[in-house]
Amino acid sequence: MDLYQFTEGIVSWLVGIVNWLLNWLGFHGLAGWLGSPDVIKFLTLLGESIVLLAVGFIVAITMIWQERKTLGRLMDRRGAMVVGPAGYFQNIADGLKTLLKEYIIPEKADKTPYNWAPVIMIGSSILLLVAIPLSDRFYMTDLDIGLLFIFAVFSITPFAILLGGWASNNKYSLIGGMRSAAQLISYEIPLLLSMVGVVLLAGSLNVGEIVMAQENSVWFIIPQFIGFIVFMIAIVAEVERIPFDLPEAEAELVEGWWTEYGGMRFGLLMLAEYFRGYAGAAVAVLLFLGGWNGPFLPPELWFLIKVFIVFFVFIWLRGSLTRVRIDQILNIGWKRLLPLAMVNIVIAVAIKTLGWI
């Protein structure tokens, strides 16, 4: 039973109870409308969306907790400890606290794009969850071009960041937005090229079929190790984590492109960053680490374990490396990663031609 069938069963059961109540009260027409196939389908899709959003929210909160605790150990401190077991609920407490913060719009900001930039950023981050399956039975959509869809949604982010930085009427925000646009464009090209080898070996852009191809042979990290390294470096830059966090760079830009955002908008933007971090780690698992394949445990659990391991690498890099200058960032993307991605494509073609996979 997949997620749709499971959700449809629950929705049908709930609608049956409501229909019985409506018929008992004499609202026979409303009961008939509520039990129609179109309404059931709509409610099922809505239920699926709520389930995926809940899973994404829990994973994001867990990643924030994981980062705070891991960085605490790397820095010889304990991290969050008080609220909840091992400080797990501290992130929820911090999120509730942002609801009480005053929300201030700069007087000379261009209010329409200023307000829409976080909506685009948060909306695109949540949309990523739609195309990322947790297993072959836990997914919302199975697109033939699912991989392209994921990175098409990823590419919306530079537009939102540049829009928000420009509309804030703050020179630091504008510089942060320009840095972000330059960085993300520079790294999207090697990021996409690093996946070409995987697509060639799997013969598909469908995420599920890529995972199935690894189930029948070897994980693609082995024949595509160069592509994996390029992908990992590029995805860290894509989700703007240290050492590639120049768009925020609090040392010289206060807080980069979102300097003028406060209150719950700041909290949601921060949460969107972790949604994108989850999406980046999930794609790495799907393309190179066998997806949800693994013995004994449920496939969804295997998938999440691998995602948290990849995210641990992101945290490890944050705790170990210093920030890179903007010129160094662009040089790494164009002069180092791009040629390596092209070499990786040649290796993939050779492997496919020789029939090794």
Q: Are 265 and 100 in contact (CB under 8 A)?
A: no
Contact residues for 266 (Cβ-Cβ < 8 A; gap 6+): 98, 101, 258
The 8-class DSSP code of residue 334 comes to: I
Distances from the Cα of 98 to the Cαs of 165, 169, 250, 264, 267, in angstroms?
21, 23, 20, 5, 6
pLDDT of residue 230: 93
Confidence (pLDDT) at 44: 85
Beta-carbon count within 10 A of 200 CB: 18
CB atoms within 10 A of CB 227: 28
The torsion angles phi and psi of 39, rounded to 5 degrees, stand at -70, -40
Compute the distance between CA of residue 304 and CA of residue 290 in angstroms, rounded to an integer. 12
Q: What pLDDT does 310 receive?
A: 94
Phi, psi dihedral angles at 97 (to 5 degrees): -65, -35
The token duo for 180 is 């972000």
pLDDT, residue 282, reads 93
> How much is the pLDDT for 250?
66
> Could you read off the pLDDT of 133-175 as tens digits, one per residue?
888 888 887 788 888 888 888 888 888 888 888 888 888 888 8
Residues of the chain with pLDDT under 70: 1, 250-253, 357
**Distance (Å, whole) CA 267 – CA 245:** 18
Single-letter amino acid, residue 271: L
pLDDT value of residue 305: 93
Closest Cα to residue 183, out of 121, 246, 125? Answer: 246
Q: What is the pLDDT of residue 287?
A: 93
Structure tokens at 171: 């020179």
Extents of the domains making up the chain: 110-354
pLDDT in tens, 71-115: 888 888 887 788 878 888 888 888 888 888 777 788 888 888 888
